Structure 1
Amino acid sequence: MSISAAQVKQLREMTGAGMMDCKTALTETGGDLEAAVDWLRKKGISKADKKSGRTAAEGLIGVASQGESAVMVEVNSETDFVARNDAFQDLVRNVASVALSTDGSVEAVAAADYPGTGKSVADSVTDAIATIGENMTLRRSAKLSVSKGTVATYVHNAVADGLGKIGVLVAVETEGSAEAAQNFGRQVAMHVAATSPLALTEAEVDPVAVAREKEIFSDQARQSGKPENIIEKMVEGRLRKFFEEVVLLKQAFVINPDLTVEQALKEAEKEIGAPATISGFLRFALGEGVEREESDFAAEVAAAAKQ
């Protein structure tokens, strides 16, 4: 089959591998991008552990909190210029505020009353499209709550209070000081923004992802020619390291890398004054998982010249 230059370029961006290696990988896997990533990793050519979501949508993440609950919403726009518009920022801020009174689902937020209009959030977004002149969507929303404790929030690349490009919520369950728990939870939220863990605990990591890593580690280990029992121990070690990289509680805490997040939580209990548990976290990065067609300007010009 024919492998396009665009496919090779995309694989290079995902893995950092050379152009010819990328072309060979795509040829060997019939053009399957994910399979090509695995092929390169098995050959030791790529160190990519997972496909990076490419930010392909503009807009803002909005965060709001009240009492023992906090919410995040993502409202997309077509351009970053609109994301800097005061009217758009007010829209996202109000949608986040409204989301606090719902269960946090997109459907519930869209159907909720938008303040001061007598209309739903969905209808108000539609009105904003007409006013601002650009397409917008309430893409997703989520809510975290605790029975006792706090839900800390953090916004990275903030353009205004509670608005930015990355939002994080961290739920800390405790009967101790809510203020101390909030301070620690915010540090963990900053950590999550930086490291983007896949899950809170090992048990919560997607089994498909674990199986995929195990297969790749096994293939890599077999290339060493070592006996099967040694290979098994090598794979166990690699999986342990994998969990340390992607599980929040096992990660080295960015505030103090000498401790894991789990150990840092134990230390924080001294300030909190009671046992504490991180019961959940959420991380939204603007536009993650949304693909946008990228035009090759040079190719467009060349094509136009031939017409």
Structure 2
Amino acid sequence: MVLGRHLVLCIITYMLFSWQQAGLFHSGLRLLASDKELLVKLRRKTGYSFVNCKKALEKFNNDAKQAETWLHQQAQKEGWNKASKLQGRKTAEGLVGLLQEGNTAVMVEVNCETDFVARNVKFQQLVQQAALCTLRHCRSQEQHQASYSKGLIPGEEILQMKTDDVTIKDVLALTIGKLGENMLMRRAAWVMVSSDLFIGTYMHGALQPDLPSLTNMSYGKYGSLVVCRKADTDSTSNITELGRRLGQHVVGMNPLTVGSLEDESTGDAETRMLAQPFLLEPSLTVGQYLHPHGVQVLDFVRFECGEETHTP
């Protein structure tokens, strides 16, 4: 019995030696190493699991391009399947994304189930892509003679916008498929102003994103855009800081209208912005605070993540 085992081992050793001498053993190793390298590259490029990447490469005989296309198609299909299964689950968390570029600023709200997912890089990428699409949409609008224009966009309309050759609807499906939570493209708003106006912006509860983000984009739970007519004497830095303070007031005090300088404050229940006690100097109303600066507030937009709203 022992002799038989020894004989089998000798035969196996001889065969391996023969393959090595013939170059077959090493070429097999090289092939395996090459396959592994291709698998790793596909995994890094797509972000899908090793199992799915291996399956895709085997399906298309190591054609990386076809494998990648198939992976995206499958992920989209599975994402929509998962989306339909998760539909109806409460999405009270998420992020507000604020993007400002020159005389244009946009805000988007995207909801998910948990704050844990809201902090995930893939969810933040979804918010960023929705904001970029909203910015392009805003700039494509016909401009009128008015000194500023403003728009509110419902989630269903955002889903039809395209980033490269893919709709936001598809990006949403892929993100749902990868993160396994129900998500909702809630709404967006945009503002574009003429050269004699400026947009004050503020983000409350801002988080440090996990992705290489746009330098002019921020993420948080509350955001605001405030349209103001600037005084000629104010410097750019003064205007930026003043706009940030006004945005902070809008987030903190939640006014419903701008009102006018002639309005008399009705106290803590006041909902007209200019008549409200200024958040950072409560002894003054917003109107009184702005008067020496020569700045006028014309309009504002406020987003609170997860709030009940009748915004179209």
TM-score, normalising length from structure 1?
0.58
Higher-Rg structure is 2
Residue deviations 1:200-257, cap 9 Å, x none? 1179xxxxxxxxxxxxxxxxxxxxxxxxxxxxxxxxxxx9516972111111112222
Gaps of 5+ in 1: 1-54, 204-238, 270-275, 291-307
**Partner residue of 1:141?**
188
Residue deviations 1:163-216, cap 9 Å, x none? 01111111112363444322211101011111111211179xxxxxxxxxxxxx
In structure 2, the CA distance between the partners of 1:78 and 1:199, relative to structure 1 (3 Å rule), is same
2:105 is the counterpart of 1:70 = yes
**Partner residue of 2:220?**
164
Gaps of 5+ in 2: 1-89, 139-150, 209-216
2:145 is the counterpart of 1:130 = no
In structure 2, the CA distance between the partners of 1:119 and 1:56, relative to structure 1 (3 Å rule), is closer
Q: In the comparison of the two structures, how many residue pairs are matched? A: 194
The residue identity in structure 2 corresponding to 1:171 is V
The alignment partner of 1:241 has SS state of coil
**TM-fit CA distance, 1:109:** 3.0
2:167 is the counterpart of 1:120 = yes
Separation in 2 of the partners of 1:56 and 1:249?
34
Aligned 8 A contact 1:149 1:175 in 2: no
In structure 2, the CA distance between the partners of 1:56 and 1:264, relative to structure 1 (3 Å rule), is farther
Residue deviations 1:243-302, cap 9 Å, x none? 972111111112222221112112223xxxxxx321111111110117xxxxxxxxxxxx
**Partner residue of 1:50?**
none
RMSD, aligned CA: 2.6
Q: How does 1:44-59 map to 2 (within 5 A)?
A: 57-59=92-94
Separation in 1 of the partners of 2:160 and 2:290?
38
Separation in 2 of the partners of 1:97 and 1:259?
38
Structure with the larger RCO, 1 or 2 (CA within 8 Å, 6+ apart): 1
Separation in 1 of the partners of 2:125 and 2:111?
14
Aligned 8 A contact 2:96 2:109 in 1: yes
Aligned 8 A contact 1:149 1:178 in 2: no
Q: How does 1:1-307 map to 2 (within 5 A)?
A: 57-103=92-138, 104=151, 105-106=153-154, 107-114=156-163, 116=164, 118-147=165-194, 148-160=196-208, 162-174=218-230, 176=232, 177-201=235-259, 241=266, 245-269=270-294, 276-289=295-308
The alignment partner of 1:87 has SS state of helix
Separation in 1 of the partners of 2:265 and 2:285?
14
**Partner residue of 2:211?**
none
- Percentage of pairs with the same residue: 37
Aligned 8 A contact 2:91 2:111 in 1: no
Aligned 8 A contact 1:102 1:108 in 2: no
Aligned 8 A contact 1:102 1:109 in 2: no
The residue identity in structure 1 corresponding to 2:193 is V
Aligned 8 A contact 1:154 1:169 in 2: yes
Aligned 8 A contact 2:231 2:293 in 1: no
Aligned 8 A contact 2:277 2:283 in 1: yes
TM-score, normalising length from structure 2?
0.57
